[in-house]
Structure 1
C-alpha cells in the first residue's frame, strides 16, 4: 500500500470520527468502557482482526480506557489500510459497548 498524501489523510479523517492525526504519521483514538473487562474484550477483538490482516496497532490499556494508534511502517506513514482498520475497530467497539 502506498502512503497517503496530506490531502488524502484529511479527507479520510472526515470519514473516521473520533480519530485524530498525531505526529503527521499516526491516527489515534481513545475508547472508553463502562467496565475494565469490556475494554479487555475489545482489545482481544482488535488483536484477532489485526492478526487476520497482519497489520497491528499500538495498544494502551489504562483501566477502562483503551487507546489505539495506527501507522504503516513499510510505507513510512498512513495508508488506506490504516483508515479501513480504524473503521473496523469502531464497529467492534459498538458491538462490545452494547
Structure 2
C-alpha cells in the first residue's frame, strides 16, 4: 500500500472520532471500559481482526484503558489500511458499549 500524504491523513482524521496523529507516523486512540475483562475482550476481538488483515497495531492495556496505535511499517507511515482497521476497531468498541 502507498503511504498517504499529510493532507490525506488530516482529511481522514477529521472523519474519525478520538483518533490522533502521533509523531507524524502513527494514529492512536484510547478506549475506556467499565471493567478490566471487557477491555481484554475488546483486545481479543481487534487482535482477530488485525490477524485476519495481517496488519498488527501496538496495544497497551492499562487496567480499564486500552490504547491502540497503528502505522504501516513497509510504507514508513500511514496507509488507507491503517484507517480501515481503525474504523473496524471503533465498530467493535461501539458494539461493546
- In the superposition, the TM-score normalised over structure 2's length comes to 0.99
Provide the residue aligned with 1:42 in structure 2.
42
Provide the residue aligned with 1:12 in structure 2.
12
**4+ runs deviating over 3 angstroms:** none
Coordinate RMSD, CA, aligned: 0.4
Deviation string, structure 1 residues 25-53 (Cα, Å, up to 9, x no partner): 00000000001000000000010000100
Q: How much has 1:96 moved relative to structure 2?
A: 1.5
* 1:69 to 2:69 alignment: yes
- In the superposition, the TM-score normalised over structure 1's length comes to 0.98
* 1:32 to 2:45 alignment: no
Instruction: Point out where structure 2 has 5 or more consecutive residues left out of the alignment.
Output: none
Q: Alignment length, in residue pairs?
A: 97
